[in-house]
Structure 1
Amino acid sequence: MPRAGFYAVESGRISFRKDGNWYSDEERIDNPRIALLFSRSIRRNPDGSYYLQVAEERAPITVEDTPYVVKSLEDDGRGGFILVLNDEEREPLDPSTLEVGEHNVLYTRVKGGEFRARFLRPAYYHLSPHFEMDSDGTFYLRLRNERHRIKLAAGAGASQAS
């Protein structure tokens, strides 16, 4: 009896883009269940490339920026935040991992520090009232009466912190 294949991604033209959406052959995947399945199935090869692993089937994917995005934030009740990721997992924000990249894009580390995640606008704007800037242009995140420096990502120009 033939085994059912993972035909949804056989084309190898599946991509996860910086807008936090999945695409197949340049068409946005609007089915939230498929998008969630894909987000929960991301794996990384030793060479840094990505693929989807669904049951025994594998399919290569293209990741435009990061394999995870921070869709929203929730208050943790203790003066901090919980990240809500594209795979619907929730994890505490580690302010020591924040960094700003090109075009003032904010990033953090997730999944035990293994992956970088890009903040989508709603999450960024939720966090932005807690940003402070020193006279030298250094940005900080203030949480629980502590200031956490927001690092400049490698490759980001000095003019990015505006």
Structure 2
Amino acid sequence: MPMAPPPDLSSLSLSDIVQAMAAQTLPPVSQWHPTHCGDSEMRIARDGTWYHQGSPIGRPAMVRLFSSILRREQDGRHVLVTPVEKLDIAVEDAPFVATALKAEGDGTDARLVFQLNTGDLVAAGPDHALRIEQGADAPRPYLHVRDGLEALLARPVYYELAERALAEDHEPPGVWSDGVFFPLIAPDPA
């Protein structure tokens, strides 16, 4: 069954986004427990590009399909899982990249919806937290996607969040989404 192309986030209203998110269904990978079969010879680069045997996977529908069977194990490894096999996949940073942001409302009434490089839509909130990690050269912002899987926010998306945080003038700087406040500073390493 072919996968539908991802929606254009900029053209969707909030009610359209809510409908699209409700329609997103994923295989029940948390219920599948096959025997580990080896290495998939696949890698997800820091920029979100998927590779197989060193070559980029050029078909977006194939990447969306593989991303739907991606799971993070309790030991932190990433695997591709089906009912009959489980294969390791190397992930350089986060398996997804948030490439677009749609924001509606202000303050505690705000809702922030992110589009991932796979086309999936994720609304930041109680089940999808935003967090900042201090990287060697700059902050690294992440969004929880599902079951321990995260998306790295692309730099332009992070800048949009920073602009919202500065406009709302909170201390510490941060943003609201679905009734949750997310500070946009890395926690103190102490």
Q: By the TM > 0.5 criterion, same fold?
A: yes
Residue of 165, 169, 173 corresponding to 1:131: 165
Distance 1:40 1:143 in 2: 28
Give yes or no for contact 2:71–2:81 (8 Å, CA) kept in 1: yes
Report the Cα offset of residue 147 of structure 1.
6.8
Query: Match for 1:109: what amino acid?
Result: H
Partner of residue 42, structure 1: 70
Q: Structure 1 residue runs of 4+, over 4 Å off?
A: none
Give the secondary-structure state (helix, strand or coil) at the position aligned to 1:39: helix
* Residue ranges of structure 2 left out of the alignment (5+ in a row): 1-37
1:1-150 superposed matches below 5 A = 12-54=40-82, 56-76=84-104, 79-94=110-125, 97-102=130-135, 103-111=138-146, 114-132=148-166, 140-143=173-176, 148-150=182-184
Distance 1:24 1:53 in 2: 16
Spell out, residue by residue over 1:77-96, the C-alpha distance to the aligned partner (whole angstroms, 9 max, x if none). Answer: 55331122244332211396
Cα gap change, 1:72 to 1:55, in 2 (>3 Å) = farther
Distance 1:32 1:116 in 2: 19
Spell out, residue by residue over 1:25-59, the C-alpha distance to the aligned partner (whole angstroms, 9 max, x if none). Answer: 22211111111111111012232111112453332
Report the Cα offset of residue 123 of structure 1.
2.2
Cα gap change, 1:100 to 1:139, in 2 (>3 Å) = farther
Distance 2:39 2:49 in 1: 18
Query: Match for 1:25: what amino acid?
Result: Q
Give the secondary-structure state (helix, strand or coil) at the position aligned to 2:173: strand
Report the Cα offset of residue 139 of structure 1.
5.5
Q: Percent identity?
A: 24
Report the Cα offset of residue 148 of structure 1.
4.2
Partner of residue 3, structure 1: none
Distance 1:41 1:154 in 2: 35
Cα gap change, 1:131 to 1:100, in 2 (>3 Å) = farther
The root-mean-square deviation of aligned C-alpha atoms, in Å, is 3.2
Spell out, residue by residue over 1:82-140, the C-alpha distance to the aligned partner (whole angstroms, 9 max, x if none). Answer: 1222443322113963214302221232326x33321023422332321339xxxx751
**TM-score of the superposed pair, with normalisation by structure 2:** 0.60
**TM-score of the superposed pair, with normalisation by structure 1:** 0.68
